Amino acid sequence: MHKKNLFYKNKIIKELYFSYTLSCSDLSAQIMTSLPLTTKMLNDLIRDNDIVETGYAPSKGGRRPLMYAVRPDSKYTVAVAMDQLFTRIVIMDMHRQYATPVEKFELHLAKNPGALDVLVEKIADHIHRSGIVKDKIVGIGIGMPGFVDSKKGVNYSFLTEGETNISQHIMDRVGVPTWIENDSSMIALAELSFGAARGKKSAMVINVGWGIGLGLIVNGELFRGYNGFAGEFSHLPLFSNNKLCSCGKSGCLETESSLGVVIEKAAERLNNGDLSMLKGLSTENFDEASAMIIDAATKGDKFAIEQLSEAGYHIGRGIAILIHLLNPKSIILSGRGSLAGKIWLAPIQQALNEHCIPRLSKNIELEVSTLGADAELIGAAACVMEHYERSGDTNVSSN
């Protein structure tokens, strides 16, 4: 009975985390327990300082229900966002506010056998320096590029190339439950939980970064595919350009539309004398260079806008294929590149106009995420809380 009650208390905390505030009757329906039992567990959680009463719901006629929320400092998640070049770590509270400053460091994943050890040390050190007791940290969520099988905890592309259960390895070393997921799937989870895809049954979340990732939302849930590899949008073979892609093939979408390609093309054109407010653009630091181009574009620099627009048109060509296959309701641009905002919309829409059957594309909702570069961190925290009701070996059957 103790394990069963713990399971449902954890479910209450999870539901409140994702829904902000709920009434007792709402919680009773969502965790599928009786109203008296839900009331008892709510009172226990209030006594334990895990949740608080937030007042009465707005009046809709009749008696207003009392609302509940998770205490922000009752528990914490460690969120880790990785790409091929840089890693970010932050600890978030239950209201998804940063409890520590975001720590960013360079960590090249390709051909780096020591990358996992560095990651473990950085996570452990970040937790130690935070001063937060480990018992309050419910889990570590890590978004990373590559072919990630989240169920097995392995990444077949980086860190150990499938030879080690990364989740188990980090949990053993740090002492905190750990989950890993593909970075684009993490971003899609963030959009589904708290962003532009919230409440939507069908959406495609495009992760614009060093590659062009894709997170699929089908029937209101994140779709990962047979073994977690769904969404390798970057590697659609769209071009006959004889450019080698990171996957080892040539002509992939990534070779003409990733932020890395935008940087390289921009640097070459500037060296050839094109005019722009961009000064000192270097391919030595992709992170800094991408920020410079996006900043210049949002300030109206014609050259920077042209670079992003060219990439956007190619992304739109890829999206047109996805629309013909999946017929989604919404297309959401997220991740690092989404900081360029509406600059992406016109070239992508132009590509859809040219390459999509009008009946399929005319009702598409094309929008830019407001989560921006934080999306992967938010998704990493949400990944931890997705598993929260099972924390502590609480495998029980439903009522």
Per-residue pLDDT of the chain (399 residues; tens, 9 = 90+): 567 778 889 999 999 999 999 999 999 999 888 999 999 999 999 999 999 999 888 867 667 889 999 999 999 999 999 998 899 999 999 999 999 999 999 999 988 989 999 999 999 999 999 999 999 999 999 999 999 999 999 999 999 877 889 999 999 999 999 999 999 999 999 999 999 999 999 999 999 988 899 999 999 999 888 777 888 898 999 988 888 888 888 899 999 999 999 999 999 999 988 889 988 888 888 888 999 999 999 999 999 999 999 999 999 999 999 999 989 999 999 988 999 999 999 999 999 999 999 998 888 999 999 998 899 999 999 999 999 977 654 333 333
Give me the pLDDT at residue 249, please: 86
- Cα separation of 129 and 147, whole Å? 32
The first and second tokens of residue 77, run together, are 């998640």
Produce one character per residue of 127-165: b if its CB has 16 or more CB atoms within 10 Å, e if not: beebebeeeebbbbbbbbbbbbbbebbbbbbbbeebeeb
CATH superfamily label, 76-187+377-390: ATPase, nucleotide binding domain (3.30.420.40)
Q: Which is it for the CA torsion 97, 217, 354, 268, positive or negative?
A: positive
Q: Which amino acid is at 265?
A: K
Q: What is the DSSP string of 162-192?
A: TSS-HHHHHHHHHSS-EEEEEHHHHHHHHHH
CA 75 to chain CA centroid, Å, is 21
- Cα separation of 6 and 28, whole Å? 15
Fold of 199-370: Nucleotidyltransferase; domain 5 (3.30.420)
Burial class (CB in 10 A: 0-12, 13-18, 19+), 285: middle
Q: Cβ(355)–Cβ(56) under 8 Å?
A: no
Q: Quote the crossing angle between the two packed helices 259-271 and 302-326, to the nearest 10°.
A: 150
- Cα separation of 109 and 146, whole Å? 10
Cβ count within 10 A of residue 42:
22
Q: Cβ(68)–Cβ(47) under 8 Å?
A: no
- Cα separation of 374 and 395, whole Å? 33
Q: Specify the pairing of strand 221-223 against strand 212-218.
A: antiparallel
Find where tokens 């992760």 sit. Answer: 207
Please list, in sequence order, all residues whose beta carbon lies within 8 angstroms of the beta carbon of residue 45, skipping any fewer than 6 positions away: 9, 12, 13, 51
- Cα separation of 161 and 155, whole Å? 6
Q: Cβ(205)–Cβ(371) under 8 Å?
A: no
Sorted by where each begins, the domain ranges of the chain are 2-70, 76-187+377-390, 199-370
Cβ count within 10 A of residue 347:
20
* Residues 299/304/307/312 CA torsion (nearest 10 deg): -10
CATH fold match for the domains 2-70 and 76-187+377-390: no
Q: Cβ(179)–Cβ(139) under 8 Å?
A: yes
- Cα separation of 281 and 172, whole Å? 43
**SS3 assignment, position 142:** strand
Fold of 2-70: Arc Repressor Mutant, subunit A (1.10.10)
